[in-house]
Chain A
Amino acid sequence: MSDHPEAFMKVKDMPEGFQARPGSTVDFKTGDWRSSRPVLDREKCIYCGFCYIYCPDGVYQDQGPEEKYYKADLDFCKGCGVCANECPKKCISMVLEEV
């Protein structure tokens, strides 16, 4: 029988007990679809780090004292909007993802 196009790993390659090394979720891009994406207005951003702290998926990464902002890794962002809601300067807008 032909393999289903969705199938990702062969039966014989399944690890015993379906275990994995810790942190291996980073190998899976959980943000490959989302309802809306955060867009930052760097003019208004005060580099406070609220987005970084509040993000439930930890997608914001510190760009350092030179750049002075936090960047969302869209590979893992699900578009929940918590960052936009918590931002004290309201400089993150959620833009609808169009298919």
Chain B
Amino acid sequence: MAKKPIGIEVSLAVAEAVKLCDADVVAAYPITPQTHIVEHLSELVANGELDAAYIPVESEHSAMSSCIGSSAAGARTFTATSSQGLALMNEMIYIAPVLRTPIVLAIANRALSAPINIWNDHSDIMSVRDAGWIAVFAENGQEALDLTIMAFKIGERPDVRLPVSLNIDGFTLSHFIEPIIIPDHEEVQAFLPPNEATVKLDVANPISIGLLANPETYTEIRKATDDILLASKDKVIEVFKEFGKAFGRHYRVIETYRHEDAEIVLVTMGSISETAMTAIDEMREAGEKVGLIRIRLWRPFPVEELKAALVSAKVVAVVDRHMVMGAPNGPVCLEIKSALYDALNPPKVFNFIMGLGGRDVRRVDFKTVVERSKSLVKGGQSSFEIVGVYE
């Protein structure tokens, strides 16, 4: 099974993964930087390589509506978007998890307006972080392809039945040509069982979905959805393990890098993690005890895993790619602090925001984060600092 990687744009690799998974329905509206994914899928459908219904909808709101409908009818469903497109989907995004409609949504992460900006950060996904979707972040092209395949398997499991968002950094990951191993159709078929919906729209056995819930039931149905989402962490881990067995590439909900004896641990999500690892190698050579935790599974938030990995550190420096306006911390830091609050000797947690609206994240920025953390630990408090902000 020693397949050779081929050079392919990450967006196209995601589309190829959707083809390998035999998606039934793709409903999408083009938006930069996600466009290449659905453009390639429309090509695959048009030339007969993928036997799917491609619905060229008039907006992202309709894209997600179509996806919910097709998933409710039992179809394996895919869509992709970015930034304003995800914002326009927002209303329907919140509906999919409660209706328990598995959908795989690739988000080529891009900054939200205003000011209008087409480049990468995480403000789009963070605007829907509370919606009830399973959310994973890819670091590189191979992972983007692998997670696409796993996303279908996770979401469609009978004990999950939830939509899954696959986050790939816009341009800095989506548009890169990387060496990627593309599995055979047979291998993917063996790994991914058919989508067997237990509850679905069926004319022979009609049901109503999308019902009104008054104060008598709203709380309980929201809790039931959250229970399923929280319980899905173990299913995600199972699917990661099954994937490792089948394809030899192993994934965990969080990844660690040189963190065992680290005094300062960086926390990142997405493609900047590779830059962070290079920076850590350089800092380690200079005698700095630094390490990295990369969060792959953003929702459900892997509290226990992060606690176990971070509790021995002296300082944790959390990198956010989004500002929560008016709040003391970025979204990832808020979660980390909350997870560590009841630890016996919690590490000092500092928050650094970088890479907004496509601003380049360089190795030196991680060195700045480590230097700032070292001085902050001696005293001084920051809610968050924006690395390199010109003021």
Contact = CB atoms under 8 A, between A and B. Distances in A.
Interface string A3-26: 010111111101111111110100
Nearest to B99: A17
The binding surface of chain B is classed by DSSP as: loop
Given A7-B220, A14-B220, A19 B207 contact: yes
B381 interface: no
Interface residues of B, number: 23
B299 interface: no
B98 A19 contact: no
B100 interface: yes
Interface string B180-223: 00000000000000000011000000111101010111011101
Contact of A17 (B100, B206, B216, B220): B100
Contacts of B100: 16-17
A19 B199 CA distance: 8
Interface residues of A, number: 18
Contacts of B216: 6-9
Contacts of B101: 17
B213 to A, nearest CB: 7
A22 B206 contact: yes
Given A21-B206, A22-B206, A16 B227 contact: no
Interface in B215-241: 215-217, 219-221, 223-224, 227
Interface in B86-118: 98-101
Contacts of A19: 99, 199, 207-209, 211
Interface of A: 4, 6-12, 14-22, 24
24 contacts: A4-B219, A6-B216, A7-B217, A10-B220, A11-B220, A11-B224, A11-B227, A12-B224, A14-B217, A14-B220, A16-B161, A16-B198, A17-B72, A17-B98, A17-B99, A18-B99, A18-B211, A18-B217, A19-B207, A19-B209, A20-B207, A21-B206, A21-B207, A21-B208
